[in-house]
């Protein structure tokens, strides 16, 4: 690992003095903020082959192909493809034996009067050795500064950090991720998606790298699809209705899946067909903690099972339900449904969780139920009991009773009408204990796909009967 370099200018200068590195900077939408650092640091002739800003849409389309979204992963990849191919074709014959080529690209939209925050896609494609196969890192960043010029400055810092990390921290992706925020803070920028690819990152699991973004507090939540592809939420959630279930999923039980499926069915019965509805499973860092640390292998085991069930996954540090609603409202104004149990509903009405809000529980519940939101409350049966507890039976504090009645009457809180009472007493903890003890009865309590993965990979301390 390279020594720490301190300032952004020192990083740029170190790269400029590295005679083996030579490349192109292509930037759209916020000025040439990254390239500027390399010119100001001095000795840029040793590093910069070309800089380009294709601001005009016709010019941009002529270089990188037509598109309807200029600030997108697709546009970023087209920029990297075009510029890297162009660079190697032009300079490869003359200096390819002694030079490791690279291309940095970004496409950004800073704040406007209708969009208070900016965002950007940034990427670097690079060779680790002359004539070597290229590797790549792409990230998505939300720019939080209140002034446009400050957002541009933050973009410049992030770009230099990304290039420096690719060159000098590729052997330690966790440290590379940490270095992306050098000379920056979450007040200024949030990195909510990262993807590594190529031979420099052989064996790197991008799901774990996404988890690192949350663990290192670069963002509050990350997302990936059922096939393990890391995504920025706007790519897959834009304007879609969502059904999101929160839990530890250690393991997923029949009851867990049944709650989700019945909530989806009831939403469609009540408000009509929900085309392209996105079912999502969410885990929090608290869900993943084991003895004050996160077991990464255990995390991947849970994700593998959810993937086998065809579910998208969000990992967040949100403890309160209103925070996940606020997060999802950035991407859709459509329906948001949440299947929960009665004990979870009782926690939502515990005032201690809203002590940090000026408006207390009123503010928290106002944020939770913003727009078209509905909690689908599944009944609960205690082990050894024949009776069911439903949302209608819930006893909240007397001073919250009328608030609860208002939310119920307006169906922000809704009882699940159709359910299977046979397995309501089953808990993930009991199933986990059976898996680890060798009791074969657990297989009947989890979806068949999940049981197959658990047995095949020996997950969760599985012991054969």
The CATH number of the domain where 165 resides is what? Answer: 3.90.950.20
377 and 416 share one domain:
yes
Of all residues in the chain, the percent with pLDDT exceeding 90 is 84
pLDDT digits 0-9 by tens, 167-196: 999 999 999 999 999 999 999 999 999 999
Query: What pLDDT does residue 423 have?
Result: 78
User: Which band of pLDDT confidence, cut at 50, 70 and 90, is reported for residue 17?
Assistant: very high
Over residues 434-463, mean pLDDT: 93
Residues 157, 122 contacting (CB under 8 angstroms)? no
Worst-scoring range by mean pLDDT, 3-7, 23-27, 152-156, 334-338?
Answer: 3-7
pLDDT tens-place string over residues 120-174? 999 999 999 999 999 999 999 999 999 999 999 999 999 999 999 999 999 999 9
One domain for residues 136 and 52: yes
Distance between start and end Cα atoms, the chain: 47
Question: Quick one: average pLDDT of 215-228?
Answer: 96
Query: Residue 1 has what pLDDT?
Result: 37
pLDDT digit string (tens) for 66-121? 988 899 999 999 999 999 999 999 999 999 999 999 999 999 998 776 677 899 99
Q: Determine, yes or no, domain membership for 340.
A: yes
- Given a cut of 80, whether residue 6 has pLDDT beyond it is no
**pLDDT tens across 374-431, in order?**
999 999 876 556 678 889 988 899 999 999 999 999 999 999 998 888 778 888 999 9
Q: What domain count does the chain have?
A: 2
Token pair in block for residue 120: 């950007």
Q: Are residues 192 and 256 in the same domain?
A: no
Residues 362 and 271 occupy one common structural domain: yes
Interval 296-312 mean pLDDT: 93
Structural domain including 417 reads 235-461
Report yes or no on 1 lying in a domain.
no
Q: What's the CA gap between 438 and 64, in Å, rounded? A: 57
pLDDT, tens digit, 9 for 90 and up, residues 46-63: 999 999 998 888 899 999
Mean pLDDT of all residues in 12-39: 94
My answer on whether 445 and 384 are in the same domain is yes
Rounded Cα–Cα distance for residues 247 and 250 (Å) = 9
Last residue of a domain, one of 204, 220, 243: 204
Q: What is the pLDDT of residues 242-255, one digit of tens each?
A: 999 999 999 999 99
Q: Which of these three, 182, 204, 226, is where a domain ends?
A: 204
- Regarding whether 181 and 249 lie in a shared domain, the answer is no
Tokens of 6: 């301190």
| Structure confidence at residue 305 (pLDDT) | 94
Task: Look over the chain and give the mean of its residue pLDDT values, rounded to a whole number.
Answer: 93
Q: Do 125 and 136 contact (CB within 8 A), yes or no?
A: yes
Distances (CA, A) of 131 to 25, 96, 101: 20, 6, 9
- Do 191 and 244 share a domain, yes or no? no
Q: Do 249 and 173 share a structural domain?
A: no
5: pLDDT strictly greater than 80: no
Closest by CA to 165, choosing from 188, 149, 181, is 181
Residue 454, domain CATH: 3.40.50.620
3-state secondary structure 157-179: HHHHHHHHHHHHCCCCHHHHHHH
pLDDT at 419: 87
Half-sphere CA count of 276, side-chain side, radius 13 A: 7
Is residue 41 a part of any domain in this protein? Answer: yes
Q: What tokens were used for 293?
A: 């640390």
Rounded CA separation 438/446 (Å): 15
Q: Is 398 left (phi over 0), alpha (psi -120 to 50) or beta?
A: alpha
**Tokens encoding 358:** 């000026």
437 pLDDT more than 60:
yes
Same domain, 177 and 291: no
State whether 336 and 190 are in the same domain: no
Q: Label residue 239 exposed, middle or buried (CB < 10 Å: 0-12, 13-18, 19+).
A: exposed
Please check whether residue 141 is in contact with residue 191, taking contact to mean a CB–CB distance below 8 angstroms: yes
Which residues, at least 6 apart from 66, have a Cβ–Cβ distance to it below 8 Å? none
Asked if 200 contacts 170 with a C-beta cutoff of 8 angstroms, the reply is yes
Q: Is the pLDDT of residue 2 over 90?
A: no
Among 84-98, 381-395, 436-450, 451-465, which is the least confidently predicted range? 381-395
pTM beyond 0.85: yes
Residue 55 sits at the vertex; the CA angle it makes with 51 and 61, to the nearest 5 degrees, is: 95
């Amino acid at each position: 690992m390279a020594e720490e370099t301190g300032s952004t200018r020192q990083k740029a200068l170190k790269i400029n003095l590295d005679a083996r590195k030579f490349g192109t900077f292509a930037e759209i939408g916020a000025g040439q903020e990254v390239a500027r650092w390399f010119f100001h640091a001095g000795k840029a002739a040793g590093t910069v082959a070309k800089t380009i800003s294709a601001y005009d849409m016709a010019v941009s389309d002529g270089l990188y192909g037509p598109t309807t979204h200029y600030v997108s992963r697709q546009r970023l990849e087209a920029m990297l493809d075009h510029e890297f191919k162009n660079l190697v074709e032009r300079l490869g014959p003359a200096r390819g034996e002694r030079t490791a080529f690279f291309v940095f690209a970004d496409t950004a939209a800073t704040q406007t009067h209708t969009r208070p925050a900016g965002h950007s896609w940034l990427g670097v494609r690079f060779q680790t050795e002359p004539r070597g196969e290229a590797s790549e890192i792409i990230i998505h960043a939300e720019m939080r500064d209140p002034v446009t010029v400050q957002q541009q400055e933050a973009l410049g810092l992030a770009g230099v950090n990304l290039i420096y990390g690719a060159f000098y921290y590729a052997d330690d992706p966790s440290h590379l991720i940490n270095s992306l925020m050098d000379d920056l803070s979450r007040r200024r920028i949030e990195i909510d998606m990262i993807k590594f690819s190529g031979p420099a990152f052989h064996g790197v699991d991008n799901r774990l790298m996404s988890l690192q973004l949350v663990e290192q507090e670069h963002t509050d939540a990350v997302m990936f699809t059922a096939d393990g592809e890391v995504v920025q939420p706007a790519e897959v959630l834009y304007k879609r209705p969502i059904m999101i279930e929160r839990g530890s999923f250690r393991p997923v039980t029949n009851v867990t899946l049944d709650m989700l499926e019945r909530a989806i069915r009831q939403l469609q019965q009540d408000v009509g067909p929900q085309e392209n509805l996105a079912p999502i499973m969410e885990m929090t860092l608290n869900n993943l903690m084991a003895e004050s640390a996160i077991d990464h292998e255990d995390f991947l085991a849970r994700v593998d099972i959810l993937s086998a069930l065809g579910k998208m996954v969000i990992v967040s540090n949100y403890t309160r339900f209103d925070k996940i609603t606020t997060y999802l409202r950035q991407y859709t104004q459509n329906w948001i449904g949440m299947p929960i149990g009665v004990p979870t509903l009782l926690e939502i009405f515990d005032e201690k969780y809203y002590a940090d809000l000026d408006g207390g529980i009123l503010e928290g519940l106002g944020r939770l139920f913003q727009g078209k939101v509905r909690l689908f409350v599944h009944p609960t049966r205690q082990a050894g009991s024949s009776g069911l507890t439903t949302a209608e039976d819930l006893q909240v504090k007397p001073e919250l009773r009328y608030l609860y009645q208002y939310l119920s009457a307006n169906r922000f809180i809704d009882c699940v009408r159709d359910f299977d009472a046979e397995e309501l007493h089953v808990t993930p903890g009991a199933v986990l204990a059976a898996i680890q003890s060798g009791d074969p009865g657990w297989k009947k309590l989890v979806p068949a796909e999940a049981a197959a993965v658990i047995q095949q990979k020996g997950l969760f301390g599985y012991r054969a009967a």
